[in-house]
Amino acid sequence: MSKLQLPLIKQLAREIAKGNTCYIERYNKKITVIDHSTEDAKEIAAQEEALALVEKKIENHLKLEKLSTEDQIEIMSYFIDEVADKSIRKQLSNGLKRKNPIRNFMQTIESDMELNQQWRIFKFEEYQRWVSNFIIDAYNY
């Protein structure tokens, strides 16, 4: 499989950021997305059918799931280094050290529109990097 193009990497990053599971067909790069948030019965049935097809030939697919809690926290800690305001950096850092680190971090982020925008951009870039590295590792490029 040749390297995935940037639009596919962006699509995969968006989907796993939403908590969805993606399967990439190794040869034609077709992406099958399983949306875990849908409640529409027809959509759920369609996804179950698509998943059954993927699972018949699972060896031909690469599975990407949402990032682990550890990976999410690691990205959050990288973001802290990008924040110029020392008091906000300290607030974010302290939030990651307490119980429910992701929730603490997000409460601080969501309290400031500019910071929230900066976080969204940073997070999307990091998710793209994570997807690229995952694929590189999976195929030993």
Query: Averaging pLDDT over each range in 4-8, 46-50, 65-69, 112-116, which range is the top one?
Result: 112-116
What integer is the mean pLDDT of 117-121?
97
Instruction: Please state the pTM of the whole predicted model.
Output: 0.83
How does DSSP classify residue 37?
A: T
Cα gap 6→78, rounded to integer Å? 23
* Averaged pLDDT score across all residues of the chain: 90
Assess contact for 47 and 37: CB atoms under 8 A: no
What integer is the mean pLDDT of 70-83?
95
pLDDT at 4: 64
Cα gap 99→57, rounded to integer Å? 41
What integer is the mean pLDDT of 64-72?
92
What integer is the mean pLDDT of 5-14?
90
pLDDT of 132 above 70: yes
